[in-house]
Amino acid sequence: MTSACFNVVAERASADDLIASRFTGPDEACSNRNAALARIVFGATSGRPRIEGGVPVLRLKMGDEAREDFAEVWWSVGTVTSGSAGDLVFSHDDEFLFCAGFIPLSERYTEAARKVYADAFALIAEQGFPKIFRMWNFIPRINGENGEGLEVYRDFCRGRALAFEQDYAADAGMPAATGIGTWGEGVGFYFLACRESTVRHIENSRQTPAYKYPRRYGPRPPSFARATLMRDTLFVSGTASILGHATMHAGDLARQWDVTIGNIAHLIGAENLAAHGATGGYTLHDLDQIKVYYRHAADRLAVESLARAVFHPHACIRYLKVDICRADLLVEIEGVASRRDAGLRPTPTA
């Protein structure tokens, strides 16, 4: 595979200090990247995604006082076409499609979430990229109650589940995802899709599949897989201190961290992947593009030192202080696993 480079770069919004962290594919292809497929700015403002200079841009208000804005940029090695369709913006090259959307603050998200996801599913089918392999959802007041006393996350999950049940290709499976809090004034989401049917959705034998969570967690379960394998890259969903379907160690950051890391290590390991017919496995040192979401500002230094102790010294790690979809969760971690020696490695920044 020579032209199939697929990479991501996280860069500071200030742009002069590029933290390049790229994965899968030959060096040539990676150094060939020439156009941004999309830019997600994790910063101080939020709003509807827009096309800026031909590139979809989604702004998510994720910052706390620490002022640590950064942008996640998805690079294409080919020619990028972008556009909008209703409230959605999208872009694609020959291989991958990016799409982003936004739902304004509301007393009830079920219908709006269902509609915007249904619109997105129709868009990707029409564009010829029917397989979603990674999705992110950022939900304001995620643990608050909606206009009917239902937790906002559960309200959102209901709409998303209806869209996946009724409007998504039945055989496509649910993608790896993150569903997390934001300080923004509405639900922001984005996802990546591809043409091929070779993506493989992975569950974790330590955890109940989220789409099978019992009813006590809400009227409809969350629609996502624990990870999605796309070629040699494993996209790891937001992962937390949940065994089976139960939260472990409410109130105990260190213990929640250990369960979360144990879940990821098991999820990406050879034994769990073999159960899905995939060969080989990954270790925590293969993880990059890591986001650590933590609930309490006071836990920041602790999560940083816990992360440094377990991840590769060159891994790109971002810390985001937001609420998490269950009120008893203190930390959630996502990342992308790939062969650390397979592609061009980033130069560590000072």
Single out the residue of 25, 49, 173, 222 in contact with ligand 3EB (rule: CB under 6 A): 222
Rounded (10°) angle between helices 253-268 and 300-310: 30
Chain mean position to CA 10: 14
Per the CB < 8 A criterion, the answer to whether 95 and 189 are in contact is no
**Annotated binding-site residue? 33:** no
Residue 21 Cβ vs ligand 3EB, minimum distance, rounded to whole Å:
21
Single out the residue of 49, 188, 238, 346 in contact with ligand 3EB (rule: CB under 6 A): 238
Q: What number of chain residues touch ligand 3EB (CB under 6 A)?
A: 12
DSSP-derived 3-state class of residue 136? strand
CA dist 129 to 99, 121, 292, Å?
11, 9, 29
Sign of CA dihedral 96, 75, 87, 291: positive
Single out the residue of 233, 237, 272, 338 in contact with ligand 3EB (rule: CB under 6 A): 237
Determine the Cα angle at 198 with ends 72 and 187, to 5°: 35
Q: For this structure, is 271 an active site residue? A: no
DSSP 175: P
Query: Which among 96, 130, 132 has a CA at the least distance from the CA of 8?
Result: 96
In angstroms, the CA 214 to CA 212 distance is: 6
Binding mask 89-128 for ligand 3EB (x = CB under 6 A): ----------------------------------------
Residues with Cβ within 8 Å of 219's Cβ and at least 6 positions away in sequence, in order, are: 150, 154, 158
Residue 27 Cβ vs ligand 3EB, minimum distance, rounded to whole Å:
32
Which amino acid, residue 273?
Answer: L
Confirm or reject binding of residue 159 to ligand 3EB (CB under 6 A). no
**Annotated binding-site residue? 213:** yes
Do strands 317-321 and 287-294 pair parallel, antiparallel, or not at all (unpaired)? Answer: parallel
DSSP 169: -
Residue 130 Cβ vs ligand 3EB, minimum distance, rounded to whole Å:
20
Contact region for ligand 3EB (CB under 6 A) — 82-90, 97-105, 237-245, 299-307? 237-245
Q: Which residue is nearest to ligand 3EB (CB)?
A: 179
Q: Dihedral, CA atoms, 151, 63, 237, 300, nearest 10 degrees?
A: -100
In angstroms, the CA 78 to CA 57 distance is: 19
- Pick the closer one to ligand 3EB by CB: 140 or 222: 222
Helix (H) or strand (E) holding 163: helix 152-167
Single out the residue of 178, 233, 260, 338 in contact with ligand 3EB (rule: CB under 6 A): 178
Q: Within 290-329, which residues bind ligand 3EB (CB under 6 A)?
A: 325
Single out the residue of 121, 224, 235, 257 in contact with ligand 3EB (rule: CB under 6 A): 224
- Find the catalytic residue in 11, 203, 332, 334: 332
Single out the residue of 240, 267, 292, 307 in contact with ligand 3EB (rule: CB under 6 A): 240
**Annotated binding-site residue? 109:** no
**Annotated binding-site residue? 226:** yes
Confirm or reject binding of residue 137 to ligand 3EB (CB under 6 A). yes
Confirm or reject binding of residue 210 to ligand 3EB (CB under 6 A). yes
Point out the annotated binding site for substrate.
153, 160, 213, 226
- Active-site positions read 332
Binding site for ligand 3EB (CB under 6 A): 137, 177-179, 210, 222, 224, 237-238, 240, 242, 325
